Amino acid sequence: MSFQEHFDSDSEYADDNINEFEVDKNDDQHNGVGEKDVETAEVSQAEDEYKLTEFNEKEKSLETGETHKNLVNDSDISSPQPPSIEEKDTFDFKSFLGYLKDPRAEPILKYTRSFISQILKSERFYNLKEQQKLLEDFEKFIHKKFSIYEPFKSMDDEKLANAKDCMEKLLTNKLYVKLFSPLYYKSFKKFCTVREMDDASFPNDHADIIANDKSMWEKVMEYGGVISLKNLETEETSEENIILLNKFLKVFNRELFKMGKFRSPRDKLVCLLNSCKIIFSFLKKRQGDTSLSADDFMPLLIYSILKISNNVDTENYWLLSSMTYIETFRQSEFLRGEESYYLMSFQGALQFILELDEDNLFTKIKVDDENQFKNALDERKGYLVAKKIEKEELTKEELYKKRKEQEKSMQEQKNNEEEGLLSSLLSTNWFGSKQQPKSTASNKTQEQKEIKKQILDKEKEDMESLKEMFPQFDDSILKDVYYTKTKNIPLTIESLLELV
């Protein structure tokens, strides 16, 4: 059986060795759900609903002049390449997929496919600890198989470490809708609707994560508009540096927002690292060569997260869910040093914001005039209420327009079908042959044009951000550094700071 067929098949190998990775079935009583399989169509539909963009993969292939190809049958396994920082390791997911094509690696592919298939088909809703144990047990199991089957058996330590890292990405990409709390809940609600089940319960730990995430976002929107750097007791910052910081925060928000576009813990972590490095870059520029500590970084990180509220309306980044996802499913051997520090710092900043309330507010932040601050907070709340009402009205209007457009589209489709039938009859001559339709423009060419446009738009946006942050440099210098650093904004900023 071919590499692609392993992932297309729904029956063969479905039960192979899956019991080695099962959590004790007695733990399932709280869910009130059986162990029957969901139809394959539902699994595919659930995956398609949350399918990610493949823009970055296509961009890469377009720039190298190669035709974009999916190494695996479905694009939800292959997520776009993250905006990576300069790394010491040699992460190579494409080569890993190539190794899995090797006929000698067929047993490893069978085990992997079997595990993924059973989790996707299962009607059981695992809690977070059970999911973590399932993945950890399978990863340990498959790592042992690496030492048995070629081409993994003869790999050196570096390539073997890459294979372990890539296996994590493969599993989490494929099982994302079953692991990431917000999407897991959507999947659960959809399942209950299809099965007409009212007695099924969603795992409490996932529910708590979602609830805390929503609560934290409400606090970001509420307090983000009134809390200043001075309230967080940061070092005195000049007006010039405040203007510069706002420019850095635009890039910080953009890098942080990218985290939602990726599925694997590693890719999300890279986006987090890039965001945090933007903050450190600002600190270096403000303080020069003086040593930096957590006392400098943490208040500014909290402030940066709070100021997300200035750049979006009610778009939820699901930051707590993402941090929990990274912490739970990122293998411990890859979560150390810089990665661990930034993750813990970010979690600490989120916890600080989550704990903010009117009772402890003035013990957690420094305020000179409490009455003045309360008045500003009340104004902010009134503004948010007004925005909420405005959004609800816009939503009603958009739904009305959408319904009208659907009715118009259905009527046009009906007319086109009638015209097509008439055209088919007229195009048939007396000898029974049909005229060949005129060829249309290539969809592939149009797609390439669209990708090129997106690439140019992204480069333009990056260059505008760099010009704002470093007005003292000519455009030619900014472009040279930008392209030298392979269009990587965090690395470009660090290099430009060294030239200042």
Give the pLDDT score at 232.
Answer: 86
Q: Per the domain annotation, does 435 fall within a domain?
A: no
Rg (CA), the chain: 26
265 compared with 488, residue with greater pLDDT? 265
71 compared with 314, residue with greater pLDDT? 314
Shared-domain flag, residues 87 and 169? yes
Give the pLDDT score at 291.
Answer: 53
Shared-domain flag, residues 212 and 195? no
Residues spanned by the domain of 462: 444-499
pLDDT beyond 70 at 103: yes
Please list, in sequence order, all residues whose beta carbon lies within 8 angstroms of the beta carbon of residue 486, skipping any fewer than 6 positions away: none
| Structural domains in the chain (count) | 3
Give the span between the Cα atoms of 136 and 121, in whole angstroms: 19
Q: Per the domain annotation, does 472 fall within a domain?
A: yes
Shared-domain flag, residues 174 and 300? no
Shared-domain flag, residues 138 and 241? no
pLDDT beyond 70 at 289: no
pLDDT tens sequence across 394-442? 776 777 777 777 777 777 777 776 666 656 655 555 455 545 555 555 6
What's the whole-number average pLDDT of the chain? 75
Q: Per the domain annotation, does 19 fall within a domain?
A: yes
Question: What CATH number is associated with residue 278?
Answer: 1.20.1050.80
Question: What CATH number is associated with residue 451?
Answer: 1.10.8
3-state secondary structure of 225: coil
Whether residue 451 contacts residue 65, with contact meaning beta carbons closer than 8 Å, is answered with no
DSSP 4-53: HHHHH-SSTTTTTTGGGGPPPGGGGGGGT---PBPPHHHHHHHHHHTPPP
Q: Label residue 237 left, alpha or beta by phi (over 0 means left) and psi (-120 to 50 means alpha).
A: beta
Q: Per the domain annotation, does 342 fall within a domain?
A: yes
Give the span between the Cα atoms of 18 and 21, in whole angstroms: 6
- Of 352, 367, 382, the position where a domain reaches its end is 367
Give the pLDDT score at 419.
Answer: 66
Shared-domain flag, residues 195 and 219? no
Shared-domain flag, residues 225 and 326? yes
pTM of the predicted model, to two decimals?
0.69
Q: Per the domain annotation, does 407 fall within a domain?
A: no
What is the arithmetic mean of pLDDT over 92-96?
A: 91
Shared-domain flag, residues 214 and 339? yes
Shared-domain flag, residues 85 and 67? yes
Shared-domain flag, residues 355 and 224? yes
Whether residue 459 contacts residue 441, with contact meaning beta carbons closer than 8 Å, is answered with no
Q: Per the domain annotation, does 379 fall within a domain?
A: no
Give the span between the Cα atoms of 423 and 412, in whole angstroms: 16
CA distances for 408 relative to 130, 330, 412, 422, angstroms: 49, 48, 6, 21
Give the pLDDT score at 292.
Answer: 54
How confident is residue 373, by pLDDT bands cut at 50, 70 and 90?
confident
pLDDT tens sequence across 27-77? 443 443 333 333 333 334 333 333 332 334 344 443 434 333 333 443 333
Shared-domain flag, residues 94 and 8? yes
Q: Per the domain annotation, does 376 fall within a domain?
A: no
Give the span between the Cα atoms of 341 and 366, in whole angstroms: 26
pLDDT beyond 50 at 307: yes
pLDDT tens sequence across 347-358? 999 999 999 988
CA distances for 30 relative to 69, 220, 325, angstroms: 44, 34, 22
Give the pLDDT score at 66.
Answer: 38
Shared-domain flag, residues 360 and 239? yes
Shared-domain flag, residues 192 and 226? no
- Of 143, 174, 202, the position where a domain reaches its end is 202
Whether residue 256 contacts residue 226, with contact meaning beta carbons closer than 8 Å, is answered with no
How confident is residue 21, by pLDDT bands cut at 50, 70 and 90?
very low
The pair phi, psi for residue 125, each rounded to 5°, is: -105, 105
Give the pLDDT score at 288.
Answer: 54
pLDDT beyond 60 at 8: no
Q: Per the domain annotation, does 476 fall within a domain?
A: yes
What is the arithmetic mean of pLDDT over 456-466?
A: 81
- Of 172, 202, 232, the position where a domain reaches its end is 202
What DSSP designation does 260 have? G
